[in-house]
Amino acid sequence: MREHDRLFIGGQWTAPAGTGTIDVISPHTEEVVGRVPDGTQADMDAAVAAARQAFDQGPWPRMTPAERAEILGRLSAIYAERQQQIADLVTEEMGSPILFSIFGQAALPQMVLQYYVDLASSFTWEEERAGMLGPVTVTREPVGVVAAIYPWNVPQFTLMLKLAPALIAGCTVVAKPSPETPLDAYLLAEWIKEAGIPDGVINIVPAGREVGAYLVSHPGVDKVAFTGSTEAGRKIGAACGELLRPVTLELGGKSAAIILEDADLASTIEGFKMASLMNNGEACAAQTRILAPRSRYDEVADALVTMVGALNVGDPADYGTEIGPLVAKRQQERVEGYIRIGQDEGAKVIAGGLNRPHDRGWYVAPTVFGDVTNNMRIAQEEIFGPVLALIAYDDEDDAVRIANDSNFGLGGSVWTADVDHGVEVARRVRTGSCGVNLYVLDANTPFGGYKDSGLGRELGPEGLSPYLEYKAIPRPS
């Protein structure tokens, strides 16, 4: 049982303004494994004030990028040495299988942090341009106080997508973890103090949606960065639009995996274990629409059924587990509701279904639907669980049409024996990323979505720009 009775504000462990608490419940045992304060508006006021003080008067924005990188490098080194602690903790609080947690919940966030530490030395922070009337200095300055609001599915990763570029830019941050997964943020806060990051540069306040909305509109905030549902993203985007406040939104997805006629089916289906079912299917970029040529439809269906039926579903702390429980009872009920919707729409459950694999814990059987048409809700709406929809296509043009027939545009993939041709097909898919024979996020390349999947990009040099203001200083020749 991990109990915390303070909030991390101004570099100190500070008593909360209220008496409310958040219980952290294990998705596997359904038992309380942690408890933290439930942040209030007054706590957010204090956190923003601390971040504001650190930005307006503190040393952090006035350091050189190299000086900030040196300090953040210490945090990255601490993180690298203790990744297992984060992996174990996230597995306990949200049910991510431990082998996925070691990579996706721990190693990947540290890689992102180190990427931005290294980028500081090569990024163009200032340049001289030959203006039309004389020389111009173009410099980049930190945008200010950043509100970073992030979800429960990959909490450290989605936080680091915001925290690392914001900090290297010279910004200060108020981070709001999801109520489901606040424990890992406390561990990170301890490392932040140990690394010697100045007081007030990072502030962490777990809280619910209402307090998060309060933070979005807080007058002391200069920029908002949000990862979460499209529904919540619309509200945040509207609030920021009213305030003329910069915002980055990484939202939902319903990505398509296109299996071409020449694809090696064995390696393709093996690849879907990660591309389609990563993190129990609780991933915005999961390839949950499987598009198969009609000539190979039955072959693909049989292979999916065999793969899904052989998955080890159980205790997420067990290194042999491939699918763990969903994060909360409401998520279990949501996913099972979509399985019922799919059946009502006329799709056929060919693997999994509504028989729960375990009596205890918020488990859902990995499920595959056959006879799916792309207009069905299970093909159009984000389910956020281990549910795949198998859709037949007539030819390559039809496959691309189906892939693009979605309100979302986050990820995607093409599976083929001809990689060059796979790249050609990937270029036609209207999404922010589309892999060939894999799906992976690379810290050096931008991540984000078209359409309802969001605004802006994270990762890569492109992920640093939203945390910078551009200033031109012209002068006489």
Determine the Cα–Cα distance for residues 44 and 52; give it in Å rounded to an integer. Answer: 12
CB 249 within 8 A of CB 455: yes
DSSP bridge partners of 458:
447
Question: How many C-beta atoms surround the C-beta of residue 219 within 10 A?
Answer: 8
Angle at 17 between CA 224 and CA 148, to 5 degrees: 15
Active-site hit among 92, 180, 240, 284 = 284
In what order do the strands lie in the sheet containing 348-351?
Answer: 348-351, 367-372, 387-393, 289-293, 256-259, 412-415, 435-436
Residue 419, sorted as left (phi over 0), alpha (psi -120 to 50) or beta, turns out to be alpha
SS (HEC) of 68-89: HHHHHHHHHHHHHHCHHHHHHH
Determine the Cα–Cα distance for residues 201 and 433; give it in Å rounded to an integer. Answer: 32
Determine the Cα–Cα distance for residues 475 and 477; give it in Å rounded to an integer. Answer: 7
Active-site hit among 92, 93, 250, 322 = 250
- 326: which 2 tokens? 């969903």
End-to-end, the C-alpha distance of the chain in Å comes to 67
Instruction: Let me know if 250 is a catalytic residue.
Output: yes
Residues in the chain: 477
Determine the Cα–Cα distance for residues 18 and 91; give it in Å rounded to an integer. Answer: 29
Determine the Cα–Cα distance for residues 201 and 68; give it in Å rounded to an integer. Answer: 11
- 208: which 2 tokens? 């619910």
Active site residue ranges: 250, 284
